Homo-oligomer: A and B are copies of this chain.
Amino acid sequence: MNKMKNNCYGICFFISVAINILLCIGIYLYIGGARRRDMKQEISWQSSLALTWTEKAAAEAEAVAAASCSGHGRAFVDRLTSDGQPVCECFNCYSGSDCSVNSLECAAVVTSGDLTFLEPFWIQNAANTAVVISGWHRMSYNYAHGTKMLTELENCIRKLHSIARNAVTEGRYMVFGVGSAQLLSAAVYALSSGNSSSPSNVLASIPFYWLFRDQTSFFSSKYFEFEGNTNSLQSKNSTNNQDVIEFVTSPNNPDGELKKPVFGGKAIYDQVFYWPHFTPIPEPSDQDIMIFSLSKLTGHAGSRFGWAIIKDRDVYEKMLLYISMSDVGISQDTQLRALKILETTIDEDGKPFFEFAYTKMTERWDRLTSAFSKSTRFSLQNRHPFHCNYFNETRLPTPAFAWVKCEREEDNDCRAVLEAGKIISLSGSRLSATDRYTRVSLTVRQDDFELLMMRFTNLISLENGSLQTM
């Protein structure tokens, strides 16, 4: 019995020791494996986080973008509190540090040319349109080969026009400027007579963008002067002896119509709105000087980037010289940003971008037209459908602005009439037309458009009430 008990204890003891040994081996292997896993994870961390010097800036950008501002504001990386926190910049009608305070009776402000209705598209495409600029990016005055224009950007723009089918670029020269504004001035210099005793007369057809007159007059050159509107020169009947430079805005600001020159001479085509979101594209524009901008294509007005497509070499060289004399070339930071934005714009033949933009503009025009159909007091510009080569269909124009006319005789200050209805718009006289017209921007944020529609609907609904109500 004792011997059996002995054997039992002995065997159990040895089994227990064997288990201990196995446990120890197991522990050794496990811990060793865990260490290797940790090390591998460390390396993997390092390499996947191969983000070193960019990480701080990237994290800051994401933290700023994550600031919700109650959905009624935006924070940006160039404005932080002293302890590095985002600062909410509130949209129209909102206030407070988190933009949560709504001022219910505020006016719809629709004077600006901003295209903030496109902001959601860029937010959706955040990953493809983010740009990281290093502290040593492009410090030199010139790119390689001594140029001041980024070749990749020029190529991208040519591709863009080919996709949008809105301009001939083959065999044409290109010049970049600080917005289309600078290029308008460059074009006037390039086309001007060079004869101070017979300066060129610069003209535009009413209604026209005020910068044509203000800018041309401001530069007060010996070689050109702003004559006025095309009607006045026609009525003078004296074009034969005068050198004429005509601004042709097509589609026009503010009414969105495609325009042709009045005179057969030198013309500068401001085509910043000639894109599928604002107008059908019947044909690629084929003019001597065609000016476009990022502001009215993608909405990046703050970047100040425009381009001109030019037929004549002499004109091209003069415009290049203008840019050089003005400011020794344009910002290479801006050119990088424009490249990133435009690369996404032309993705998938531009379909995601142009469809987004056109759909929004169509919705807005449909709603506006519907509201105005109930009005006899106010009217919109006429729109007639025609064929669009980009969308390959017959469609209505969807201009950036509503060119609202006050039809009642006593309403000769249309801006004031709308202001009384809490809509702040831009007087017709700012565009050299009468104040019976006023310009309303339709390219605002969705919230601002909703407010605009609410105010218009209200104004129009009051029409059947007495005049005294206004």
A interface list, Cβ under 8 A from B: 2-3, 5-6, 9-10, 12-13, 16-17, 19-20, 23-24, 26-27, 30-31, 34, 41, 45, 48-62, 65, 74, 76-79, 89, 112-116, 118-119, 122-123, 125-142, 144, 150, 152-153, 177-179, 181-182, 185, 196, 211, 214-215, 218-223, 295, 299-305, 321-322, 325-337, 339-341, 344
Contacts and interface: CB of A to CB of B under 8 A. Distances in A.
Contact of A141 (B113, B305, B332): B113
Contacts of A134: 61, 65, 77, 122, 126, 129-130
A90 B196 CA distance: 47
A113 B305 CA distance: 25
A65 B136 CA distance: 10
Given A215-B325, A331-B305, A60 B185 contact: no
**What 10 A-B pairs come out closest when comparing CB atoms?**
A129-B135, A9-B9, A53-B126, A16-B16, A302-B332, A61-B132, A178-B327, A122-B135, A138-B302, A57-B130
B326 A326 contact: yes
Contacts of A185: 325-326
Contact of A127 (B24, B57, B302, B330): B57
A158 B4 CA distance: 97
A387 B161 CA distance: 59
A65 to B, nearest CB: 6
A53 B196 CA distance: 56
Contacts of A74: 136
A54 B49 contact: no
Given A13-B13, A51-B58, A78-B335, A130 B141 contact: no
23 contacts: A2-B3, A6-B9, A16-B17, A23-B24, A51-B59, A52-B127, A78-B332, A79-B150, A118-B139, A122-B134, A131-B132, A138-B302, A139-B299, A141-B295, A178-B331, A185-B326, A196-B220, A211-B328, A215-B325, A218-B321, A221-B222, A303-B332, A304-B329
B177 A327 contact: yes
Contacts of A331: 178, 302-305, 330-331, 333-334
B122 A130 contact: no
A134 B214 CA distance: 34
Nearest to A340: B135
Given A114-B139, A222-B221, A131 B179 contact: no
A301 B139 contact: yes
A60 B341 contact: no
Contacts of A116: 139-140
A302 B23 CA distance: 67
A291 to B, nearest CB: 13
Nearest to A61: B132
A84 B134 CA distance: 18
A299 B135 CA distance: 11
Nearest to A338: B333
Contacts of A3: 2
Nearest to A299: B139
